[in-house]
Amino acid sequence: MDYQSTRGQSRPVNLSEAVRLGLAGDGGLFVPGVFPSFEVADFAGAEGLAAVGQILLTPFFSGDPLAAELAAICDDAFNFPTPVKPVAAKPGLAVLELFHGPTAAFKDVGARFLAACLERIEQRMTEPLKVLVATSGDTGGAVAAAFHGRPGIEVYVLYPAGMVSPRQEQQLTCWGDNVHAFRVAGVFDDCQQLVKQAFGTPDLRAARRLTSANSISIGRLLPQAVYYAATALAHWREHGQAPSFIIPTGNLGNAVAAVWARHMGLPVDHVYLATNANRVIPDYLRSGQWQPRQSLVTLASAMDVGNPSNMERLRHLYTGKDIARQKIDAWAVSDEQIAQQIVCDYRDNKSLWCPHTATAAFVYDHYVPKVPDCAHIMVATAHPAKFETVIEPLIGETILVPPSLERLMHLPSRYVEIEPDFAAFVEILSGA
């Protein structure tokens, strides 16, 4: 399998190189040269993420040095549950809980898979690989946890000052060792721009051996397609129908993973997207005009993205007119509506959502057509305890912190405050 750039100006590479580089030389994102095609019968006997992942990802690893390691990589990455639970008060709706990993966020899946790949790719290198990650919340914590202590890899986490929750910030800054946290005086887009500029400077990128752990990395996106495949297959086997997914999204990686799974033949029906007030995705799907803009600060902070990187992958797969025919739709949800959804669902049926999952719950309640015998699976992306400053004042109760998060809360915090200045960031990467 070869991987090409969405911009078509870079040479094709194998999987290991695509994972190591993170971003193509022309600034584009890596996509498979050809998507494999599957049928449900291809997964006969495969239960759980690791087993489904080995089958789904085998074509993507074909001809690559990592192919012999795929089973071990899947076992390393997919080692926590992703249960699907029905919502009793809403027949026809279930919730895919992706927050049972080490940092209680769905990004644990992709980050652990990427780390497992890079550790094996880098085991013969003498100079450390520098992993750059811009985060609006959960990504940085998941990447830090996944890479912490892995030899030959240094991690640089950039996050916007004052725009992540206290518990999120603790998860970004509590690691030390090979994980370095930078508190940027700006918004998420400023952090992302620093990372993009670094990758867009060929001499710097080559000299410092830079790679990405954001959702622009193909090593993050491929494993996310696995949990959609596994969930859709389990539902198909039990009910004989393809479920639709309602997905909270910011940088669009999680959503593109679902679309890729469906594109490969997995039994996925509609893909409904929920954003916060950063409505660039819904606006594009309705108008056909791609108009990125400055991000807005919202209660769903991990989705505060005004220029979603993975739209480039979606637009590479489908033209603007084609997208309108692909059973993909999106709606924006305001802070007032997020708060309303959290309060109402907890009051009425004791369902408790993080602010991001609440956008999906609002979209399901108010926009998704309720067709008889049509199943919907809502994606819960983070544990509510990560956003106690938002949720606890709304519900008037204290949220129980899961043990994985509780452990991190007692570690010392380490970070460096920086301005969103590229020259200063280059000095940091150069060890000045």
For the chain, the structural domain boundaries read 82-103+219-400
CA distance 118 to 65: 12
User: Which residue in 76, 16, 94 sits closest to 375, CA to CA?
Assistant: 94
pTM comes to 0.91
Contacts 24+ apart (CB under 8 A), 393-396: 394/339, 394/342, 394/343, 395/342, 395/343, 395/346, 395/347, 395/352
CA distance 130 to 47: 35
Q: Tokens standing for 180?
A: 């370095």
Q: Tokens standing for 81?
A: 């549950």
* Cβ-contact 56, 263 below 8 angstroms: no
Q: Tokens standing for 319?
A: 């033209």
Q: CA 69 from chain center: how many Å? A: 23
User: Which residue in 428, 408, 426, 432 sits closest to 417, CA to CA?
Assistant: 428
Domain 82-103+219-400 grouped into CATH 3.40.50.300: no
* Cβ-contact 188, 223 below 8 angstroms: no
CB count within 10 Å of CB 196 equals: 21
Burial of 413 (0-12, 13-18, 19+ CB in 10 A): middle
Conformational region of residue 342, where left means phi above 0, alpha means psi within -120 to 50, and beta covers everything else:
alpha
Place of tokens 């370095």: 180
CB count within 10 Å of CB 176 equals: 14
Burial of 151 (0-12, 13-18, 19+ CB in 10 A): exposed
CA distance 7 to 47: 37
Helices (H), 62-152: 70-77, 107-121, 138-147
Q: pLDDT tens for the chain, 432 residues: list them.
A: 999 999 999 999 999 999 998 889 898 999 999 999 999 999 999 999 999 999 999 999 999 999 999 999 999 999 999 999 999 999 999 999 999 999 999 999 999 999 999 999 988 777 889 999 988 767 888 999 999 999 999 999 999 998 887 888 998 999 999 999 999 999 888 998 999 899 889 899 899 999 888 788 999 999 999 999 999 999 999 999 999 999 999 999 999 999 999 999 999 999 999 999 999 999 999 988 899 999 898 999 889 899 999 999 999 999 766 776 789 999 999 999 999 999 999 999 999 999 999 999 999 999 999 887 789 999 999 999 989 999 999 999 999 999 988 989 899 999 999 999 999 999 999 874
The torsion angle over the Cα atoms of residues 152, 155, 156 and 158, rounded to 10 degrees, is: 170
Q: Tokens standing for 207?
A: 């000299």
* Cβ-contact 281, 305 below 8 angstroms: no
Q: Tokens standing for 315?
A: 């637009």
Instruction: Please report the sign of the dihedral spanned by the C-alpha atoms of residue 38, residue 39, residue 40, residue 44.
Output: negative
CB count within 10 Å of CB 42 equals: 14
